[in-house]
Amino acid sequence: MKKTKEIRKRGLYSSASVTENAPKCYHGPKLLFEEKATKIQTYACAGFRTARACRKDTEACTAYSLKQTISASQLCSLPQAERCYCHTCNLLFQVFFSLDWLNFLVGVFQGLGVKNVLCVGAPRLFDFLRIHTEGRHTFNTFLLDIDARLPQFYASDVFAQFNMLNGHFFKEDTGRAALLSFFESCDDRSIIFCDPPFSVMLQPLMVTLCSLKESMQKARTGNCNKELNSSDVNTMLVLPYFLGPKLFAAVPSMKMLDYKVTYEGHCRLTSAGIGDNSGSSRRVSIVRLFTDLPPKDIGPPPELESQFRSVR
């Protein structure tokens, strides 16, 4: 008799949400989690779901901030020869977008006429857009990221330390004011681009991204004093393709594009599956681009154009 194959259950929690008057920790208001099996609701850190991991990161970040004796602006005022940063302290395992993917994104932004990009957890894209000076197309950018090391590299007018799961600013006054100032400067088409951890809880993440989008739409510019329309602000985020159903359940307007997102520094995410002669499907990236833009507005990378045909 043939055995029925059971569907593997993923995750311990059926939902996670930000509630009013939620208890707080170093990483901001805690999320209310509901367990799948027992339906028991408990509060846990939005950055680290266990109390032990939260406490460990809090101690590390606090000690690290106390050691910082120079700001990004002070560092930039020094001669190039006197600037340095240790390459072995505070190491974290991270992967970054490949150069091919960054160039593809820039081409997409230019094709869409995007002038403003809010990067949520995508520091390499932020850096790439800042140094991009091809032609006359320049980008107005701002970075939100939880990484406590980044304030040493970015001035407070272009960066704020931020928790994308609960909308918490680690420096409430200066961080929120800087972001509002960026929103007020956005008088043209804008993109909110998010690169979350693969284990992210999508419900609270999309609440934060929708809130950022609404705030950007409401922000009026000093030049033309107009409100941005919903079509002027769009969202993009990158996730493993198998998280698509959860994302669509949270925000039905999101769509997945079948363009493989490639990274540097990870053998499983470096290949787009074409032209690299890797010989192994295990090297093809599982990460895809999701957006609320019409898919027809985003053409494929040049190396994949022959695989796509327009439908009339």
In whole angstroms, what is the distance from residue 264 CA to residue 273 CA?
Answer: 15
Q: What is the pLDDT of residue 223?
A: 47
Give the range among 164-173, 220-229, 238-247, 279-288 with minimum mean pLDDT: 220-229
pLDDT tens for each residue of 258-287: 888 988 865 555 545 544 444 445 567 889
HSE-up of 104 (CA within 13 Å, CB side)?
Answer: 20
Say whether pLDDT at 61 is over 80.
no
pLDDT tens for each residue of 69-107: 566 667 677 776 766 666 666 656 577 898 989 999 999
The CA distances from residue 255 to 40, 146, 250, in Å, are: 32, 26, 12
Domains of the chain in sequence order? 13-67 (no CATH), 96-222+230-307 (3.40.50)
Write the burial class of residue 8 (CB in 10 Å: 0-12 exposed, 13-18 middle, 19+ buried).
exposed
SS3 210: helix
pLDDT tens for each residue of 35-47: 877 888 888 888 8
pTM: 0.82
